[in-house]
């Protein structure tokens, strides 16, 4: 029988992995309501979750800490939620967390792993800023590892559910009465998984939802540099054409800022004359006026689930999925009008 994990209990109960960890590990002094704690225990019983005593005594064994090995996560502001998610789980389980940045350099990665092993660390979380296929050297016997926001041969991975997010963006617009929809951000560059494993999935999801609705995009503007100039220039091109969309789906929030700038320069009102939806939920999405409706990358949740899966692996659970996809939540603001 497959061993039930805390991540599965969290999904079934509709709560965070951290909350499940706190309740099932008997932590006191938390702010989790009694009703939520009872629900978690009820779901755990229903699924047949059983705690592994090995996981509760990790501090006395060879692995008393986790290591987060970053490929440009620590050095940017975009994915700090991933680190917070891992920290939460580590603290809740009484474990230390080591961190380092290897920047995609294979030689440096080897040195960092050897250094961690010298501190008796055997549990590794590899965090990647740009979701793509990466090379992780084979782990040694006794080591366990998870790749977060990427794929690597021989190592379980956690990724955002990009296809579902693409579908969600289209369905949201259609539910608000939009049928003339344009996109910005497709690129042949995205066909190479060494560049990205997320962009094509995102757009394939959009295409699926459009087909389900019996619709076709009125314009698809391409570009691989997902920054403000792409959104600005592509929107100018769209507005100069006969496409006349009522809504634009931008590949990410930075592209969306270019859409805003071009539309306002033309005297268009947002969202009355042109609606905009995008992805990632960067800080700038809440600073724009109107606030940008976007679909968030679940950085914190990826960190939490990754840390919990690594703990499960340390406890001897070998039934870990090859790939775990986590939902990308809609963050609803004011950039989409109802027609």
Find tokens 């306002």 and name the residue: 264
CA–CA gap between residue 126 and residue 150 (Å, rounded):
9
Q: Give how far Cα 218 sits from Cα of 96, 225, 275, Å.
A: 52, 22, 14
Three-state SS for 326?
A: strand
CA-based end-to-end distance of the chain: 51
Whether residues 229 and 255 share a domain: the answer is yes
Whether residues 73 and 153 share a domain: the answer is yes
In a domain, 57, yes or no: no
* 220 touches 188 (CB < 8 A): no
Whether residues 27 and 94 share a domain: the answer is no
Give Rg (Cα) of the chain.
22
Say what the pTM is.
0.82
Helix axes 228-240, 253-265, angle to 10 degrees: 40
Whether residues 166 and 282 share a domain: the answer is yes
Whether residues 246 and 220 share a domain: the answer is yes
Whether residues 27 and 130 share a domain: the answer is no
Which H helix or E strand runs over 112?
Answer: helix 106-118
In a domain, 337, yes or no: no
Whether residues 156 and 182 share a domain: the answer is no
Nearest to 10 by CA among 255, 326, 328: 326
pLDDT tens column, 232-287: 999 999 999 999 999 999 999 999 999 999 999 999 999 999 999 999 999 999 99
pLDDT tens column, 70-108: 999 988 877 789 999 999 998 888 888 999 999 888 899
Query: Would you say residue 65 has pLDDT above 70?
Result: yes
Number of domains comprising the chain = 3
Domain with 201 in it: what CATH number?
A: 3.40.50.2300
pLDDT tens column, 172-230: 999 999 999 999 999 999 999 999 999 999 999 999 999 999 999 999 999 999 999 99
Domain with 10 in it: what CATH number?
A: 1.10.260
In a domain, 192, yes or no: yes
**Phi–psi pair at 158, nearest 5 degrees:** -125, 130
Query: Would you say residue 19 has pLDDT above 80?
Result: no
In a domain, 332, yes or no: no
Whether residues 255 and 171 share a domain: the answer is yes
Whether residues 187 and 241 share a domain: the answer is yes
Name 250's bridge partners: 184
* 258 touches 229 (CB < 8 A): yes
In a domain, 56, yes or no: no
* Domain carrying residue 268: 162-297
In a domain, 334, yes or no: no
Whether residues 191 and 285 share a domain: the answer is yes
Whether residues 248 and 267 share a domain: the answer is yes
Query: Would you say residue 295 has pLDDT above 50?
Result: yes
Query: Would you say residue 27 has pLDDT above 90?
Result: no
pLDDT of residue 51: 63
Residues 6+ apart with CB under 8 A from 307: 66, 85, 86, 88, 89, 90, 125
Length of the chain as a residue count? 339
pLDDT tens column, 184-197: 999 999 999 999 99
pLDDT of residue 57: 44
- Judge residue 268's burial from the number of C-beta atoms within 10 Å of its C-beta, 0-12 exposed, 13-18 middle, 19 or more buried: middle
In a domain, 60, yes or no: no
In a domain, 25, yes or no: yes
CA–CA gap between residue 254 and residue 139 (Å, rounded):
37
Determine the average pLDDT of the residues in 126-150: 92
Whether residues 183 and 307 share a domain: the answer is no
Nearest to 125 by CA among 44, 195, 167, 67: 67
pLDDT of residue 6: 81
């Amino acid at each position: 029988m497959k061993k039930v994990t805390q991540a599965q209990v969290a999904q079934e109960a509709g709560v965070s992995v951290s909350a499940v960890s706190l309740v099932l590990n008997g932590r006191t002094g938390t702010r989790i309501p009694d009703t939520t704690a009872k629900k978690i225990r009820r779901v755990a019983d229903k699924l047949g979750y059983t705690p592994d005593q090995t996981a509760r005594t990790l501090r006395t064994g060879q692995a008393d800490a986790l290591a987060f090995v970053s490929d440009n996560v620590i050095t940017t502001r975009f994915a700090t939620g991933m680190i917070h998610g891992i920290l939460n789980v580590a603290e809740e389980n009484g474990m230390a967390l080591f961190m380092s940045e290897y920047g995609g350099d294979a030689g440096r990665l080897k040195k960092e792993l050897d250094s961690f092993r010298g501190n008796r660390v055997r549990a590794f979380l590899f965090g990647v800023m740009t979701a793509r296929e990466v090379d992780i050297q084979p782990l040694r016997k006794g080591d366990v590892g998870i790749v977060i926001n990427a794929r690597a041969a021989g190592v379980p991975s956690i990724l955002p559910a990009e296809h579902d997010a693409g579908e969600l963006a289209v369905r949201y617009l259609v539910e608000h009465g939009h049928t003339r929809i344009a996109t910005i951000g497709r690129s042949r560059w995205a066909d190479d998984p060494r560049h990205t494993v997320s962009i094509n999935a995102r757009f394939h999801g959009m295409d699926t939802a459009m087909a389900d609705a019996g619709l076709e995009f009125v314009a698809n503007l391409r570009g691989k540099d997902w920054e403000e100039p792409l959104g600005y220039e592509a929107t100018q091109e769209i507005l100069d054409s006969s496409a006349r969309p009522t809504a634009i789906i931008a590949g990410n929030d930075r592209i969306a800022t270019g859409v805003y700038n071009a539309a306002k320069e033309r005297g268009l009102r947002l969202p009355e004359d042109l609606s905009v939806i995008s992805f990632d939920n960067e800080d700038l999405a809440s600073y724009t006026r109107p606030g940008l409706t976007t679909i968030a990358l679940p950085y914190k949740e990826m960190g939490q689930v990754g840390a919990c899966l690594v703990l499960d692996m340390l406890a001897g659970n070998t039934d870990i999925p090859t790939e775990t996809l986590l939902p990308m939540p809609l963050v609803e603001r004011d950039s989409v009008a109802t027609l």
